[in-house]
Amino acid sequence: MKLDRFFIWRRRHWRGLTVSALAALFFIGAGAFNFLTESPDFMKWGSPDETANYVMAGQMAATGWPLIKEELNLTADNLVAPRSLLADGVWLKPVSFLGVIIYYGLLAKLLGLWVLPYLTPFLAAAAIVIFYLLVKKFLNPDIAWTAAWLAAIFPPLIYYSVRGLFHNVPFAAWLIIATYLATLAARRQTGWTAYGLAVLAGYACGLALAMRGVEVLWLGPLIIYGWLVNWRQWRLAKSGVWLFGLALALAPVAYYNQLLYGAPWLSGYPGMNRAASDLVNGSALAAGQVFAGQLTAVYAAAKQIYHALFYFSARPIASLLNLWLYFIKMFYWWWWLAVIGWLRWTYLQWRDRQNKRWWLAVLPCTLIFIWLTLYYGSWQISDNIDPNAVTIGNSYTRYWLPLYLAAIPWAAFGLIDLSRRFWPRHPVRPAAIILILLTAWSAWFVLAGSAEGLIPAYRNFQESRLIYQHVLTDTEPNSIIITRYHDKLFFPERAVIMKNFTDRSTVAVYAKLLRERPLYYFNLTLPEKDLRLINDQQLRPSGLVLVWREAVTPELSLYSLQKK
């Protein structure tokens, strides 16, 4: 009898069980890369942003402050700093949103630094299960199951869960969790359960914004829109509880922003800070002019707001090109399934007219798609040494993660709808076959289908480990290394300067630093004539000479900067 009950329970809940298994496999797969590449004596990351977040999370765990003291900058004109850290007097500050640093740092304080590479894979795996439950609230279980599978095998979600010290996956994961909790809270009118869910939803939303505050530009209007559409389910009391949870999650970030950057809403990004100030000032100016009846002057304020929103400029043609390269072409399966699903769902809603408010869901999704495409697609990003390279490691694929994930339910709808049209008796079976094929394709793409796939990344890590050990063995612990691209490898074990020898004022700083510390230069091996040119024209006026010390690899050499 008990065995029969088990089989009945399994038949009823097979979708939830398979999604849970997928999430577990996702966590194991995403965590395995860092488990294989990292070790206690070599915890390095593939980008300056990840390195800075890891180091500052460690500082947060150790001292309670995301700061590093570097007294050399008192005489070095703030030159002694890696990328993604801001030198401000004797302090190195994060050039970043502080959510990952603060919350991951607090968890590392409780559990140890070893946990940092695995927090994002765990959070993403949990979000996959929540994503399934969320989609099931609005669409049927088969579509929710398909959507969860598509999310679990989506290459950018896997890739940036492995590279888990970026903010993007934590933002997307907490946003999914917040949306699900808000949905549950909206369906309960009163009582402790409703208010408890509301405060948790607000807290999860606050955590999402703590990870990437800039997303408030579209998430804020979306929240207001959702509240207006569903105000009967929320009312003032429940909304107030939600706001309390939101403030509770954002309070630590606001506190450290105030201390580090001068205002609760500022961050470590100087350009974004200027844009935020212009946006606040422009909005206040526009509101004041409207109330004063000076409508002709509103144009100037609107122009200021526009330039604040698009502080990297708005380039529609470039946005469409990047959408083509980083979605339609790179992830064509998901794109075309999503287009089919969106068109089909919209047509069915219009034809059947069973839900008269269907357009209330289509409208914000369409506007957010346009906004994210234009906002991030307009940016000119060169993460790769080759500016023409189109790889999964380029930042467009992580900035557009909310866009990708929002398209996945439509892709699932399209896949199930096609399966039902061609195999009406057993629509899940052909969908499962297609999902298995997509899983194989996704695994290939993440591992080796891109120049920045995980297999090339693993090889680079092994080479970097040897370079790291070689250079640290041959340089003094108090030395400074001048480099162009290897700051992420040597910092914080060595002080680093991201410069060269072309600027005379910078070379003069080198001469001052050389009185206190040994200086080295690590970069591509210089041809003999280029080395003579640097010594004769750039270093000699300051009484310095660059001396080749050794070849670390066939392409890279270590040089010593000495007094002539």
Residue 493 has pLDDT above 90, yes or no: yes
**What's the average model confidence in pLDDT over 436-442?**
94
- pLDDT of 289 reads 61
Look at 60-69, 143-152, 384-393, 415-424 and tell me which has the smallest mean pLDDT. 384-393
- pLDDT of 255 reads 95
* CA angle at 141 for the pair 135 and 143, rounded to the nearest 5°: 65
- Tracing tokens 């808000």 back to the chain, one arrives at 182
- Say yes or no: 238 and 96 in one domain: yes
Look at 46-60, 255-269, 419-433, 533-547 and tell me which has the smallest mean pLDDT. 419-433
Number of domains in the chain: 3
* CA angle at 76 for the pair 74 and 80, rounded to the nearest 5°: 100
**DSSP collapsed to 3 states, 334-382:** HHHHHHHHHHHHHHHHHHHCCCCCCHHHHHHHHHHHHHHHHHHHCCCCC
- As a whole number, the mean pLDDT across the chain is 88
**What's the average model confidence in pLDDT over 434-453?**
91
* CA angle at 521 for the pair 520 and 526, rounded to the nearest 5°: 140
- pLDDT of 140 reads 86
- Say yes or no: 400 and 508 in one domain: no
Any domain includes 305: no
Any domain includes 74: yes
Residue 6 has pLDDT above 60, yes or no: no
**What's the average model confidence in pLDDT over 457-483?**
93
Handedness of CA 354, 357, 363, 365 (dihedral sign): negative
Any domain includes 106: yes
**DSSP collapsed to 3 states, 421-446:** HHCCCCCHHHHHHHHHHHHHHHHHHH
Any domain includes 295: no
- pLDDT of 466 reads 93
Q: What's the pLDDT band for 421 if we cut at 50, 70, 90?
A: confident
- pLDDT of 463 reads 92
The CA-atom distances, in angstroms, between 43 and each of 114, 166, 489, 492 are 9, 15, 9, 11
- The percent of residues in the chain predicted with pLDDT above 70, rounded, is 89
**What's the average model confidence in pLDDT over 103-121?**
95
- pLDDT of 346 reads 84
Closest CA to 454 of 127, 25, 35, 168: 35
206, 250 in Cβ contact below 8 A? yes
β partners of residue 495: 480
Residue 520 has pLDDT above 60, yes or no: yes
Q: Tell which wins on pLDDT, 114 or 308.
A: 114
Q: What's the pLDDT band for 293 if we cut at 50, 70, 90?
A: low
- Say yes or no: 172 and 257 in one domain: yes
Residue 412 has pLDDT above 80, yes or no: yes
Residue 287 has pLDDT above 70, yes or no: no
Any domain includes 401: yes
Q: How far is CA 267 from the centre of its chain?
A: 15
Any domain includes 463: yes
Residue 7 has pLDDT above 60, yes or no: no
23, 128 in Cβ contact below 8 A? yes
Closest CA to 128 of 109, 146, 102: 146
- Say yes or no: 480 and 423 in one domain: no
Distance CA 99, CA 86 (A): 17
- Say yes or no: 419 and 471 in one domain: no
- pLDDT of 451 reads 81
Domain that holds residue 195: 6-271
Residue 419 has pLDDT above 70, yes or no: yes
Residue 152 has pLDDT above 70, yes or no: yes
At 205, list the tokens: 């939303």
- Say yes or no: 418 and 485 in one domain: no
**What's the average model confidence in pLDDT over 238-244?**
93
Residue 271 has pLDDT above 80, yes or no: no
Q: What's the pLDDT band for 269 if we cut at 50, 70, 90?
A: confident
Q: Which of 420, 436, 452 is the last residue of a domain?
A: 452
**What's the average model confidence in pLDDT over 306-317?**
74
- pLDDT of 495 reads 95
Distance CA 160, CA 189 (A): 38
Phi-psi region of 543 (alpha: psi -120 to 50; beta: other; left: phi over 0): left
Query: Rg for the chain (alpha carbons), in Å?
Result: 26
Any domain includes 288: no
Q: What's the pLDDT band for 162 if we cut at 50, 70, 90?
A: very high
Q: Which of 433, 452, 471 is the last residue of a domain?
A: 452
Q: What's the pLDDT band for 349 if we cut at 50, 70, 90?
A: confident
- Say yes or no: 20 and 164 in one domain: yes
Any domain includes 419: yes
Q: Which of 435, 452, 469 is the last residue of a domain?
A: 452
- pLDDT of 283 reads 64
- What are the respective helix, strand and coil percentages of the chain, to the nearest 5? 70, 10, 25
Q: What's the pLDDT band for 186 if we cut at 50, 70, 90?
A: confident
- Say yes or no: 148 and 89 in one domain: yes
* pLDDT tens per residue, range 371-398: 899 988 888 877 677 777 888 988 899 9
Q: Compute the residue count for the chain.
A: 564
pTM: 0.92
- Say yes or no: 115 and 222 in one domain: yes
- pLDDT of 340 reads 93
**What's the average model confidence in pLDDT over 543-549?**
93
- Say yes or no: 480 and 559 in one domain: yes
- Say yes or no: 121 and 189 in one domain: yes
- pLDDT of 14 reads 79
| Per-residue DSSP letter, 527 | P
- Say yes or no: 446 and 474 in one domain: no
Closest CA to 166 of 257, 258, 51, 276: 51
* pLDDT tens per residue, range 553-562: 999 999 999 9
